[in-house]
Amino acid sequence: MTQALPKTKLVTFEEFVAWYPENSERRYELYDGVIVEMALPKGKHERVVGFLASQTTSEFLRLKLPYFIPKTVIIKPPLHESGYSPDVLILNNDNLVNEPVWEDESFITQTASISLAIEVVSQCVARVPRVEATD
């Protein structure tokens, strides 16, 4: 379950970077200016993430590409005051010199640094009324 934190005003991505608690046991993302606390993933979700990370890693190693998969990074999509932490993120190591806060913070702002971002969508557990067909 995600939970929006109380808001008094919309937050910019730069304010979110400055606010983000160091060594937090909680995860946060920014959705169009609103800071949201993220639920921790479940086992099945993590199994899929691990599989995708291992398969993509073996491929970029085979191709000798300058990529790596960081543990926890927040990326900023262009044109939005948002910041997301994808389940699997492949970064282009060669472009990180152009990232303004990379050396001090795990935030990525340039699309050239992102080779692939994967978000694993979990099955919805909402109950939907079942409708039986009648003749």
Q: What is the pLDDT of residue 76?
A: 93
Q: In the chain, how many H helices and how many E strands? A: 2, 8
Distances (CA, A) of 14 to 34, 37, 49, 106: 13, 18, 28, 13
Q: Whole-angstrom Cα distance, residue 41 to residue 23? A: 18
Nearest to 89 by CA among 121, 67, 63: 67
Q: Whole-angstrom Cα distance, residue 47 to residue 41? A: 10
List, for residues 91-105, the tens digit of each pLDDT value.
999 999 999 889 988
80 or 92: which leads in pLDDT: 92
pTM, two decimals, is 0.78
List, for residues 21-78, the tens digit of each pLDDT value.
888 888 899 999 999 998 888 899 999 999 999 999 999 999 999 999 999 899 999 8
Q: What is the pLDDT of residue 126?
A: 45
Q: What burial class does residue 30 get, using C-beta atoms within 10 Å of its C-beta: 0-12 exposed, 13-18 middle, 19+ buried?
A: buried
